[in-house]
Amino acid sequence: MSRILVLPGDGIGPEIVAEALKVLERVGEIGGLDLEIDQGLIGGAAHDAAGHPYPEATRGAARRADAILLGAVGGPQYESLERDLRPERGLLGIRSDLGLFANLRPAILYPQLASASTLKPEVVSGLDILIVRELTGGIYFGQPRGIEERGGERYGFNTAAYSESEIERIARVGFEAAMKRGKRLCSVDKANVLEVSELWREVVERVGKEFPEVELSHMYVDNAAMQLVRDPKQFDVMVTGNMFGDILSDAAAMLTGSIGMLPSASLNSEGVGLYEPIHGSAPDIAGQGKANPMATVLSVAMLLRHSLNRNDLAERIEQAVGRVLDQGLRTPDIFGEGMTLVGTQGMGDALVAALDD
Ligand code: IPM
Ligand code: MG
């Protein structure tokens, strides 16, 4: 039996997760999976109900789960909360608590969406890159951090820091991923300015010796941002730290037409994974039934692949996404002339139906 914890979160989270669950349940029937699916609270929803964005009950359930499916967290109503109680802290809390250091963010352009990208079709057609983002270290978690009174004014500070072992294990994930794909790895840093990046580069080089078949390159993050929009197909796998990965993965998402299409997996060294779309809670469209559930549905595919070892079922979901796009169904974020506009539920129903085709 596999225990799946579902954390819908805030904003559009509950809507998109509901559709992803329909897909998971159907695929479970098809594939004969024995699933125990539990729901829990995280983010603003958890703060509202339990006074904390990552409550004890969720922590306990998360530690028992084999895999976690998460919607999104955050919303304008929570911005005035004390820093430690904000929804984002719930997400950072669960990532850190479970040691989910390896964040895989594939950016794949479905050919049907080539015209939905803001970039020219020839620049993005056939795009298939993987961003491997370190998720439990770097400036997101470095100490000291804070806002203090210094010299008669307030002073805000964070610490960008990585230990050799942290760099080594994420580099290894990058190389291993590259071995399964195009055997090219680009490590992104800011080694011309930051000591932490200097060490990053040195350690990545060292780990690279264990992977002689992988062609390793290094790129400064500012250039990487430029190259991603200039010629994204030059990349196969990119490996980078927490904050650079956060920024570059949003840029990569837009290459694929919509941030509503991109799933992610966050894994620890024991194979437990948290799966979530890379987009946020989109409070502006929450509750209107127009959010694109595909990124969450594709996150279910990643869950099946990485935590349940069912590549066959993952592919079945990915093919269903392709089929529904072939049918011309589009949520507003990927809508274009001649297509059929559908809402969140309509898209979910079509995906479930396409699983059986
Ligand atoms: C992401 C998000 C989060 C992050 C936020 C919501 C804390 O932007 O998963 O990319 O910065 O990691
Ligand atoms: Mg982000």
Q: Cβ(233)–Cβ(85) under 8 Å? A: no
> What residues are annotated to the active site?
140, 190, 222, 246, 250
> Closest residue (by CA) to atom 10 of ligand 1?
246
Nearest atom of ligand 1 to the alpha carbon of 135 = 12
Neighbours of 208 (CB within 10 A): 17
pTM above 0.85, yes or no: yes
Spacing, Cα 250 to ligand 2 middle (Å): 6
Q: How far is CA 138 from CA 100, 144, 190, 274, in A?
A: 14, 12, 13, 19
Residue 128 bridge partners (DSSP)? 108
DSSP letters along 319-346, please? Answer: HHHHHHHHTTEE-GGG--TTPEE--HHH
Burial label for 124, CB within 10 Å (0-12, 13-18, 19+), is: buried
Q: How far is CA 327 from CA 81, 233, 259, 339, in A?
A: 44, 27, 21, 9
Domains of the chain: 1-104+262-357 (3.40.718.10), 128-255 (3.40.718.10)
Using a CB cutoff of 5 Å, list residues around ligand 2, an ion: 246
Name the residue with tokens 């549905």.
297
Q: Cβ(106)–Cβ(89) under 8 Å? A: no
Q: Which residues line ligand 1 (CB under 6 A)?
A: 74, 88, 91-92, 246, 278, 280
> CA-to-CA distance for 304 and 316, rounded, in angstroms?
10
Burial label for 209, CB within 10 Å (0-12, 13-18, 19+), is: exposed
| pLDDT, one tens digit for every residue, the chain (357 residues) | 999 999 999 999 999 999 999 999 999 999 999 999 999 999 999 999 999 999 999 999 999 999 999 999 999 999 999 999 999 999 999 999 999 999 999 999 999 998 888 899 999 999 999 999 999 999 999 999 999 999 999 999 999 999 999 999 999 999 999 999 999 999 999 999 999 999 999 999 999 999 999 999 999 999 999 999 999 999 999 999 999 999 999 999 889 888 899 999 999 999 899 999 999 999 999 999 999 999 999 999 999 999 999 999 999 999 999 999 999 999 999 999 999 999 999 999 999 999 998
> CA-to-CA distance for 86 and 90, rounded, in angstroms?
7
H or E, element range at 219: strand 215-220
And the tokens for 92? 């950072």
